[in-house]
Amino acid sequence: MAGLEKLTIITYENGEFQGAGTPLEVLINPDKYTHAFNICYSKLEALGSSAGSPKFKWIPADSVSLELVFDGTGIIGNKLPGIIPQKPKHVAVQIKEFKDAVGKFNSTMHSPKFVQLCWGTMIFNCRLESLDINYTLFQPDGSPLRAKANAVFIGYESEKTKALIEKKKSPDLTHVVKVKAGDTLPLMCFNVYGDPSWYIQVAEKNHLVDFRELQPDTDIVFPPIKK
């Protein structure tokens, strides 16, 4: 039986999302996540004018918010079939490792690292915006045994990436891309079309029986898309 696909958090030291760091896999998948999209309007009205005519200002980056679980009891995960029980890291250590990976100031970049959230068809390039940690279970001495963290990630696209995505979205172009180790079809669709949801059409075009198991160094044809 195939293992449950986990939400994976990948860090990068550049805004082109090249040269991935060691992926972080969540302990348990969130039961939901929120993908927020906003449009900003000016609500200042001229003196004497009627309300209800806001003027467009700009479109800020999307954001994704979700809940992460840090557990030091050893109960979560160790009772799953086929899992050898292991002594978990202290909750404080788990949280520090997470914060160091996605939120710590990087002296080379002069900022925290760039982040990519990968889960199923969701491929979200972003940066950590906020992290609210709620400690929910404690040892007799007050040390935390479990914590739930509400994380908010703000979307990020470099100007170069935006230009490439717009070019790759051209409906009259066919793309042939060679599979690299670690590639998934949704991720490749995101890189080509800017939208991971085209993976089913691409799988059908390439007669892929199992699109989850891509063989490195094989070519995948990405047909023109119709919007």
Hey, what long-range contacts does 170-176 have (CB within 8 A, 24 or more apart)? 170/224, 171/224, 171/225, 171/226, 171/227, 172/224, 173/224, 174/221, 174/222, 174/223, 174/224, 175/221, 175/222, 176/219, 176/220, 176/221, 176/222
Residue 190 pLDDT = 86
Residue 164 pLDDT = 57
Asked if residue 102 and residue 71 are part of one domain, the reply reads yes
Angle made by CA atoms 131, 136, 138, in degrees to the nearest 5: 120
Asked if residue 136 and residue 28 are part of one domain, the reply reads yes
Asked if residue 188 and residue 82 are part of one domain, the reply reads no
Domain for residue 84, yes or no? yes
Angle, helix 159-168 to helix 185-193, in steps of 10 degrees = 100
Domain for residue 179, yes or no? yes
Q: Is the pLDDT of residue 188 over 80?
A: yes
Residue 91 pLDDT = 94
Asked if residue 116 and residue 87 are part of one domain, the reply reads yes
**Burial tier of 146 (Cβ tally within 10 Å: 0-12, 13-18, 19+):** middle
What CATH number should be reported for the domain holding residue 114? 2.40.30
Last residue of a domain, one of 107, 128, 156: 156
Asked if residue 166 and residue 123 are part of one domain, the reply reads no
Per residue in 128-137, pLDDT (tens digit) is 999 999 999 9
Span 167-179, average pLDDT? 68
Asked if residue 168 and residue 109 are part of one domain, the reply reads no
Domain for residue 167, yes or no? yes
Last residue of a domain, one of 111, 137, 156: 156
Q: Is the pLDDT of residue 56 over 60?
A: yes
Domain for residue 2, yes or no? no
Q: Which domain holds residue 133?
A: 8-156
Residue 67 pLDDT = 96
What CATH number should be reported for the domain holding residue 210? 3.10.350
Asked if residue 129 and residue 29 are part of one domain, the reply reads yes
Last residue of a domain, one of 101, 123, 156: 156
Domain for residue 3, yes or no? no
Span 109-128, average pLDDT? 92
Q: Look at strands 144-155 and 175-178 and give their pairing.
A: unpaired
Residue 1 pLDDT = 37
Domain for residue 125, yes or no? yes
Hey, what long-range contacts does 209-217 have (CB within 8 A, 24 or more apart)? 211/185, 212/2, 212/184, 212/185, 214/179, 214/183, 214/184, 214/185, 215/179, 216/179, 216/180, 216/181, 216/183, 217/178, 217/179
Mean pLDDT of the chain: 84
Asked if residue 139 and residue 191 are part of one domain, the reply reads no
Asked if residue 102 and residue 34 are part of one domain, the reply reads yes
Total domains in the fold of the chain: 2
Least confident of 13-27, 31-45, 52-66, 155-169: 155-169
Asked if residue 96 and residue 56 are part of one domain, the reply reads yes
Per residue in 19-41, pLDDT (tens digit) is 888 899 998 999 999 999 998 88
Asked if residue 116 and residue 82 are part of one domain, the reply reads yes
Domain for residue 81, yes or no? yes
Domain for residue 227, yes or no? no
Asked if residue 190 and residue 145 are part of one domain, the reply reads no
